[in-house]
Structures are given as structure tokens and as C-alpha cells.
Amino acid sequence: MKRFVYIDDDDLSNNIYCDNRISNRKYTVWNFLPKNLWEQFSRFMNQYFLLIACLQLWSLITPVNPASTWGPLIFIFAVSATKEAWDDYNRYLSDKKANEKEVWVVRKGIRKHVQAQDICVGNIVWLRENDEVPCDLVLIGTSDPHGLCYVETAALDGETDLKTRVVASACMGIDSELLHKIKGVIECPIPDKDIRRFDANMRLFPPFLDNDVCPLTIQNTILQSCYLRNTEWACGVAVYTGNETKLGMSRGIPEPKLTAMDAMIDKLTGAIFVFQIVVVIVLGIAGNVWKDTEARKLWYVQYPNEGPWYELLVIPLRFELLCSIMIPISIKVSLDLVKSLYAKFIDWDNEMVDPETGTPSHATNTAISEDLGQVEYILTDKTGTLTENKMIFKRCCISGTFHGNENEDGLKDPELLKAVASGSPDAIRFLIVMAICNTVVPVQSKAGAISYKAQSQDEEALVRAAARLNMVFLEKKGNILDINFNASLVQYEVMDTLEFTSERKRMSVVVRDCQNGNIILLSKGADEAILPHAHAGQQTRIFAEAVEQYAQLGLRTLCLAWRDLEEEEYHEWSLLFKEANSSLVDREWRVAEVCQRIEHGFEIIGVAAIEDRLQDAVPETIETLRKAGINFWMLTGDKQSTAIQIARSCNFVSPEPKGQLLLINGRTEDEVGQSLERVLLTMRITNAEPKDVAFVVDGWALEIVLKHYRKAFTELAILSRTAICCRVTPSQKAQLVELLKSCDYRTLAIGDGGNDVRMIQQADIGVGISGREGLQAARAADYSIGKFRFLKRLILVHGRYSYNRTAFLSQYSFYKSLLICFIQIFFSFISGVSGTSLFNSVSLMAYNVFYTSVPVLVSVLDKDLSERTVMQHPQILFYCQAGRLLNPSTFAGWFGRSLFHAIVVFVITIHAYAFEKSEMEEASMVALSGCIWLQAFVVALETNSFTILQHIAIWGNLVAFYVINWIVSAFPSSGLYTIMFRLCRQPSYWITIFIIVAAGMGPVLALKYFRYTYRSSKINILQQAERMGGPILSLGNIEPQSRSLDKDISPLSISQPKNRTSVYEPLLSDSPSATRRSFGPGAPFDFFQSQARLSSNYTRNCKDN
């Protein structure tokens, strides 16, 4: 599909394409209410509560006032709708500001001022320096005589360095006064979101150019939301407008990520729903039986002899309404609220602010913080993530001569300095390739100082190194490059640029030496992309050895090559290159094919080695997270030797003999298969031994493995804690993330560049580093941090606290709902199994919305251990990874607690106040008071670190309960008239409350004390150590058991990839495996000599791929 854009011709362009109005709004004034309600009711839970609320409108079956359900339901919907409306209103204001911005356009040859939203496709738009680009433009003129302009693309791709854009060659040299009269047509693709690609053609109409086709690339465009910099003016033709721009097409709401805890809560909700249906059926049948056998004998019940056809459904439906509160209506709103607070805690954490740049951490996704505490695999990029991405030229090899050593870098090497000074041909050519085979833009300040703007840090390092060796890149005037070498000016004309691609792995330029007219092909790239293309007579062994030697030192290597071209050969090739560049179909493939025709017969000039230093505290961070049971995979585009060296220096792999590297290599399917089988057999043998074993695979072998041996590679991934993947492409990075996710592992991907975006978006959690490559990865990620070392705090502190708090909050929400529901069920047994409610509607509504919600929300401040202790003992993260605080077992503990407390409250209340002893309303209020008191003590018991806010929320809530009910009791119409006044004056009421609390909390406290004292978990002992001030000497391993795999697995096959023993445990204890330790104040603690690994809490099976 194509679109044809006619330049400044409204008759042909109008009403075909959209205008430039930007709209990121989700709603309008007219569709907000229906659309928002539709979205909210698309969720099963909301549909369920709506059904319950509608059934309560049927007066025959409702046991309580419909307001008890409609009130909370409307409140929750209103909160969600208000949040959506506020977010959408802010989007509207942002759109309005952009749409009403004034810009200059040319229409019918006349320049006029219009609002940005009125720009049409085909209009010529004029920009001034520092203007924001209002739509996607094809550049046709600039103030620069060579047709250049500079744009800042940070808003588009996050890259902070200025980019160079050039006027289309067909428009080069057209006078600025004639630009507003230009006519022609641009043939371009339909709108897409690829900001790296624009394959189009332009034809100008006479008198400007007689229909000659001019190819256009992304270098001839300036895209929406970029800024014009260091250029007085520029103008371009609007080709994509409004939401059809590349930025507009890239916008959109990412798919929501479901956390492991959310999935577990959904399963538990489903289980409660099934339990509720069973209870309703049983009680419904019992109620109908009692009605037919006993109730009709009682004159005061007044049941008619014959009822309507639906009479059998009345009692079951009553119990359905009565039991509907088993599923807490407020749980989603409560979880959304606390998750937003978790994200704010990350934003507000001053210890995660990069001191060098002042960059704070930021949580873009507010819904998955608890998943940080359950991470099992971290997949990380290398350059810019583990390293600083500050490239420094360190060493080089020129024509077999090595320059630089451990004591000094290559730029200070006396032999190299002498060779440059004496005009050695090999050294000069080496410097020429370094200086001009790139896309670097020199920028000269008013003081005359030259700085370089580069999209690649490698290129900037090479140009700076050449400048220090007197080959100074001065200026770029269109296609003319000015080079100052030893105080003499040398000029080169750039004929063609063969841009770098991840497939070719090299970049070349064709230049003409302006001094002698010779045409030269200069190239630089990876060793496997350059050395095999050397001319037949050249020996490349010395260069291969240099590459290997530098890689062993952890340096990045680039091979530099040179080739002289004949005029005729270049002319023939240039026609093919131009034709390929003009193609609108498969342009990238055709260009690559043409490049292959000329990129051969190289004379290898030398090898450059560049150092990229590790960031501060990277080894320590990886070591700490490894202790937490997290496995690491490094995914990098670097060569194997460099990646291995960096991995060793980062503590990815231990040195020999403890550490062992297993290589998967080969060029054919059979070779790779045999290599994989050897590695797999070795891994099975060594899996039970305490060895640090890692496997290494390159991109070529990985492609074969993922296509033909996916099952075997999946088994290998499960058996190995560490992997080093070299020469991998962005798509392969994403495939590896998907592979681990398919085995039900929680994955975290971290990177800093645009090539990491797919990996980051594919992972359960994506973390972007705001680095020198820009903000593209940070913007695509769920979390952004300034440095890799902050990942430790993000996971161990924020992830662990978020998991613990959410586990308590979710289970407590079910506990409070089940408690009141069980009391209602028990009451039915003394009320003829009729579905009558013990509590009135006002009490039920207040119970759900106010009395039980406020105390638990402050649990977001709770910390079971101090941050310092958590960072010192990362092994305790396993409790989160294994789901020890939220699983069917812990939920069963809360379920049992709610049932026990319901029995206590009901039995004591009935014996003290039921039957002829008092009114039903009094008994109801006593039972409700008992529930409120019990829950206050439950929250207090489960709170580990008290703050003033928690005390106010817990005990202040009790005071508020009595104040509210005193006020309600003053109104005759409330149904509670004088109830609280009478109860509070009765000593028996307070005695009953005391007995309820003592009977309800006594066994819970005793059980907790027993487990805390005699079957302490490691977390319990750390808590005791904190309270008594005793230091911790060591902490034993708390890791999952080695994954058991069938040793008789046939070669390259898998039977049971991942198996974890099922061990569940209630919330009252974290682990029964700890032995008791006697200690006194200040005494040191030594943890658990046993090295046995704890088993995980549930079995996961790797999905068959």
C-alpha cells in the first residue's frame, strides 16, 4: 500500500487524509459514562456484584436493604470512574496545547500562520530554531548552504545527542525564495510506527526537476515532537499528520501485565465462589425442607399453603445474597490504591537517585511492584547496563604491530606516535578510517572548540582518538569532510554511505579524495564481518589474534578495512545502489544485497580496541542478588571472548576451578545439536555438585537451537543458573525471555538502549536504565533507574515489602468478609434456615466500607525487617519467590481463623444476648462489636513495625466505631435507635467483648508464640536479633532445591523440565524448618549449619514449546 502526497496542492490532498489534530483521549463528554461503565462491567467480579445488587431489588428475597450492596458498589465505581476521568482530562489539556500551537505553513504559494491542528498533508511547513515539529515532514530546505539541519529526538526515541538530517537531493540548491512555489509528488508507504525507516521517492514537477525520481530515507525526514536545533530555519512537506504520524502510531496502551499474586488471588476468589455456591445450595435445600416440614406447623410464620412457581428459589436466592459478601467487594480498589503507593515509594526513594546525573528512579507501571519480590531470572544487556557506555580508545593493532599495554593506552604509545609523525602510510590510513567512517557530526563552539555528536559511543571514541593523534575531523559541509592532519587541511567527498545493520555487522562509506580524485571504500565492523572479506593475498591471522587478545581483556574490538575502487566499478555499483534505495518494496533487503557486491577484497588495516568500564558496584550487586536465589543471563551483541571476560569481572561466573563454562557452537544443524547434547550431558552430571556452571552460546548457534532443539535448550535453561548469549539480535533477546516465561519463571529484563525494548516489553518486569543511549528503554520499561546497582534495592527492599504487604492485605480482606458471612450462616440455624440477616443494612455497609478498611490500608507502612537487615541477608527473598506468604495453605489458615472467630463471636453473643435476654438489634450490635474488636487485634498482631499512623488507624478506628454508632443510635429511623446507648451502660456488654477477644485471640497468640519460639523461621530469628541488638554472623542458604530431572532423558529431549515439591504453610509461620537457638541480649546469632535447600511451595511444569 502506498500514499501519494502532492506538494502544496489542496485540491488533490484535501479530504483524503486526516488533519493534524492530535487526540490521545480515551473518552468524550458524551460517551464517558456508557463507555466507562462498559469497561468496568467487562470484569467478572463487577458483573457478579451487579447481579447481586439487582437481585436485592427484589423485595421478596432480599434479607437486607439494597443500599448495603448498592452503596459500596456505586462508591467503588465512582472512584474508578473519577480516576479515569481525571487522567483523560489531563490528556485532553495536553492535546489542546499541542493542537492550538501556532505554526507557519504555505498554501497556494502564500505563507500564513495557522494552528497546528489545521496542517494538512501536502502543506509546506516552516520551522524556526528551537521550534517543535508539529507533524512528520520530508525536508526540502534549510538555512544551511549544504542542506543540513540538526534535530533533537529525545521526545521520540529518548536519545539526547543531536541528529543530522539532510534535504532531499532533488531539492538541494533550490533558493529559499522559490521553496514556497515548489510542486511535486511524494510516493511513500502508508503510516507505520517504525521511526528508523522511511522508504519513499520524490518527483518534482518542472521547472524544478523534470520528473526524475529521488529516493528518500529517514535521513530526509524530521518527525513529530522533535526539536529543530542549531539551525536558523528549515521547511518540509507534511506527509503524515495527526494520529497517523510515526509517533502517533506508536502511542497506545500496553497490554496489562498480570502478577503472580494477582493470578493467585483470582484462583482463591474462584475457590471461594465455588464454596459459596455449595453453601447456598445446601442451605437452600435445608431451608425448603424445614419450611415444608416445620414452618407450616407454626401459626406465627404464616406460610401460605400454596406459593408461586418460583417459591423453591426464594430461600436459595436469599442465601446467595446473604453469602455474597464472602467475596470482598472492596478488594480490587484496595489493591489498586496500595499498589499506587508502592510505586510512589519507589519514586520517592532518595537512595535510588543517581548522584552523578540526579536521575531518580521511576515506576511507570503501578500494578506489578509485588512481582519484583518474586523475580527468579534476570536477563541483562551488557553495554550501558553493566558498563558505563563511556567508550575510551585503549589499544590498537596496525599492520601486525601492537600498540598499548597494561601500563599505558595506545594513544601514548611511542611507536604509534612516531609512526604518525613520520607519516607511515598504514598508520595514516588507519587514522583516516577512524576519523571519517562514521556518522559523527562535529559541532564548533563560538570559542572554536570542537565537540562531537554521535549516535554510537564507539564512533565518538574513535573520532576523539584520531583527533588526539592529529587527525582532527573539523567540519562537515554537506558531503565534504574537512580533516586537519598535522596542520594541513585534507578534504574528502562522501559519495555513498552503507549504513550499519545488525545483519551485516559493519558500516562503510565510499569517499573521493579531493586531492587526487581516488575513490576509496572505508569499512569498519565486527571481526566476523570484516576479516572473511579480506583480499586473497592478505594474511589475517595476526588480526584475528589481536581481536582475541583484546577480547580476553574485556575490550570491545572493531576491525578497520580499506579498498581502492576503480571509477568504472564504482559507477556501475552506484547505479545499482541508487536503484535499490529507490525501491519501495523490500528496500532494506535489496540495499543489503547491493552492499555485498562491493564490500569484499578488503585490505585489513588494523584492529581498534575500546574499553567500556563497569559501572560502580556491579559485581557486588550481582553477587547479592545471586545469594537471593536469582539466576542471571547476559544477552549481548558483543563477541564471545569480550562477553566472557566481562561476565567473569561481574561475578557472573566464578574463576576456575570452581566456575566452569560450557560452549555451544557450530555452523550447521548437526554441529550445534552435538554441541548442545554434550553440554546438556555435562550439566546433568554436574548439576548436583556445588559448581558454578554456565553455558555460552552465540547468535548463530542460538538461531539453530531455538528452531530445531527448543525442548533440549529449555531443559538446559532450567538446569543452568547462568547463561552468556553473544552476538544476539533484539528479536533473539525477546525469544529467550519468552522461553523462560513459558517455564513459568518470573523474569526481569534490564537494558538501556532501543535494541533492548523488545526484551523489556516481553519480560514480566521490564527495567530501563536512563543512560547515554537515551531514554528509549526507560520509557518502554515498567521501572526506570539511573544505574544497575539500584536494581538490588528495587528488588530486595521495594519488591519484598510490596509482596509481604499485598499478601497480608489480600488475605485479610477475605478474612473480614468470611467472618461476617459465617456469623450470618450460623444465625440461619436458629432462625429457621430462612436466610434472615442478623445485621441491618447500615451496619453491613459501614462494616465493608469504613470499619475494616481503614486499619489495613496503613499496612503499606509495615516492615517485618529493617532495610539494612534485608540488604545484608538477601537469602530471605526466597520466601517471596516461593510464594510462602500467599498460597492455598496460608489462605486456608486465614479461612480457618475466620471460621474460628465467627464461632467464638456467635456462640458467646447468642449465650449472652439471644432469645428472651434482649432484642435482636442488641445481639446484632454485640456481634458486630466483637468482630471489630477481633479485627483490631488481628491487624495489631500481624503488624511488625508500628508507627503513629498505624496506632491511629487501628485504635482510632475502634473509637470511630463507637462514635459513629452513638450518633446513628440517636436517630429513630436508623433501626438502631438507643441501641448503643443501652449497651455501653451495661457491664455485661464489656464483659462479653472481653470474653470474645480473649477466647478469639488467645489460641492465635499461643500458636504464634509456639511457632515463634520453638519452630522459628529464619525471618523470626532475624526479627529477634533486630529487637535485641545482636549481630548476625552468617545466614545459611535459603534456596529452592535443585530441580529434579529424569537422568534417563534421551538425548535432546525433556520429560519434566521443572519440578518443585509442594510445601504449604499457614501465615502464622514462615518456615517450620528452622531449629531453635538460645540467645541473650547482644549475643551473636549463627544461622543453620544445614546447607539443605528449602523446597518451593508449588509445582510448576514447563509448557511444551
User: Which are the catalytic amino acids?
Assistant: 381
Residue 57: is it exposed, middle or buried by C-beta count within 10 angstroms (0-12/13-18/19+)? Answer: exposed
In this structure, what DSSP letter does residue 255 have? Answer: P
Consecutive H or E run containing 497: strand 488-498
Rounded CA gap, 882 and 877, in Å? 9
What per-residue confidence (pLDDT) applies to 2? 81
pLDDT tens for residues 458-473? Answer: 888 999 999 999 999 9
pTM, full prediction: 0.78
Residue 256 backbone phi and psi in degrees, to 5: -65, 145
Rounded CA gap, 457 and 757, in Å? 19
Strands 631-635 and 659-664: unpaired
Residue 690: which residues within 8 A CB-CB, separation 6 or more? none
What per-residue confidence (pLDDT) applies to 852? 78
* Beta strands, E only, 1019-1094: 1032-1034, 1085-1086
Rounded CA gap, 229 and 164, in Å? 10
Q: How far is CA 1025 from the centre of its chain?
A: 36
Instruction: State the chain's maximal CA–CA distance in angstroms.
Output: 122
Pick from 70, 48, 47: which is nearest to 57 by CA?
Answer: 70
Q: What is the DSSP string of 910-931?
A: HHHHSGGGS-HHHHHHHHHHHH
Which grid cell is 27? 473518552
Which grid cell is 714? 529449555
Residue 1083 backbone class (left: φ over 0; alpha: ψ -120 to 50; beta: rest): beta
What per-residue confidence (pLDDT) applies to 300? 55
Rounded CA gap, 336 and 628, in Å? 28
| Amino acid in position 423 | G
What per-residue confidence (pLDDT) applies to 1040? 47
Rounded CA gap, 878 and 892, in Å? 21
Contact (CB, 8 A) for 509 and 439: no
Rounded CA gap, 505 and 596, in Å? 12
Rounded CA gap, 184 and 90, in Å? 40
Which grid cell is 1077? 537457638
Ranges of H-type helices in 245-382: 246-250, 260-293, 311-323, 331-347
Contact (CB, 8 A) for 12 and 6: yes
Ranges of H-type helices in 294-386: 311-323, 331-347
Consecutive H or E run containing 804: helix 800-828
Which grid cell is 417? 606516535
**Beta partners for residue 57, in sequence order:** none
User: Percent helix, strand and coil across the chain, each rounded to 5?
Assistant: 50, 20, 35
In this structure, what DSSP letter does residue 1071 have? Answer: -
What per-residue confidence (pLDDT) applies to 508? 94
The verdict on whether omega for the bond into residue 1081 sits within 30 degrees of 0, i.e. cis, is no
Pick from 99, 64, 182, 165: which is nearest to 835 by CA?
Answer: 64
What per-residue confidence (pLDDT) applies to 296? 60
CA angle 499, 501, 502 (to 5 degrees): 160
Residues of the chain whose pLDDT is less than 70?
A: 1, 10-15, 64, 68, 155, 157-161, 208-211, 250-256, 294-310, 655-658, 687-691, 771-775, 914-918, 974, 1030-1105
What per-residue confidence (pLDDT) applies to 773? 56
What per-residue confidence (pLDDT) applies to 1100? 39
